[in-house]
Amino acid sequence: MRQLFVLDPIEQINPSKDSSAALMQAAHRAEIEVWACTPSDLQARGDKAWVVASKVFPLPWINIEEPTSKPLIDFSCIWMRKDPPVDEAFLYATHLLEVAERDGVLVLNKPSSLRAWNEKLGALRFSKLMAPTLVASRVTELAAFARKQGEVVLKPLGGKGGQGVVRIAKEAPGLEALLELITYQETLPVMMQSFLPEVVEGDKRILLVNGEPLGAINRRPKKGDFRSNLALGGKPEATLLSSKEEEICKELAPQLKGQGLFFVGIDVIGGMLSEINVTSPTGIREIETLMGIPLADQVIDRLLLELN
Catalytic positions, written as ranges: 120, 155, 205, 219, 227, 267, 275, 277
Burial string for 237-253 (b: 16+ CB within 10 Å, else e) reads: eebebeeebeebbeebb
The answer to whether 195 and 152 are in contact (CB under 8 A) is yes
Q: Is 89 strand, coil or helix?
A: helix
Query: Which run of H or E residues covers position 96?
Result: helix 88-102
- Angle, helix 295-307 to helix 19-29, in steps of 10 degrees: 60
E strands, 157-284, where?
Answer: 166-169, 190-194, 203-209, 212-220, 235-238, 263-269, 272-277
Please give the Cα distance from 26 to 39 (Å, whole number): 22
